[in-house]
Copies of this chain bind each other. A is one copy, B any other.
């Protein structure tokens, strides 16, 4: 990689999002995946990232494991701390989206108000994607037996068992992960991205 001649000058300005979008050949924004534990957030964001990357997109995943180890390292699991965790996740997703990327953010994010705050932080290009599956189905898939531990009271305040999940009021997309296979879900999402993140 070499730089262009330093004789080419233009007035200093900030690199705009439109210029980044032009460079990348696709729009930027956030697909915010919300749903119960076991609804498929990790599986879907990882597989979708791979598909989109292979198709040439500038794409990133932001997930709870990463955020909890880094940005939210200082936070616990009280209601306030969970809200703050989602706030930071929203801001981090916004930074990546403003860099021209498609961001796949996967968080239980059980409260509508927290998701609405993420929407505000990100602005245009925020897409709330609800991975719909009831707790019984999620518990069946649960290789780490978290639902079992939550039902036994070993894990307190577990979303879907002992803590509430507020279903999205007006998500951009609902995916029924009870009936759709993972591959079908990914195909559907790739189509959604192609349609909604076209180069303008």
Q: Digit string of A82-109 for contact with B (CB within 8 Å is 1, else 0)?
A: 0010011001101110010100000000
A121 to B54 alpha-carbon distance, docked (Å): 28
Report the interface size for chain A: residues with CB under 8 A from the other chain.
Answer: 54
Across the interface, which residues of B come within 8 angstroms of A96, CB to CB?
95-96, 99
A126 to B133 alpha-carbon distance, docked (Å): 42
The stretch that binds B, out of A31-39, A55-63, A140-148, A165-173, is A55-63
User: A66 — nearest CB in chain B belongs to which residue?
Assistant: B95
The 10 A-B pairs at the shortest CB distance, nearest first, are namely A3-B55, A70-B91, A71-B91, A15-B53, A60-B99, A1-B26, A3-B190, A1-B25, A4-B55, A15-B49
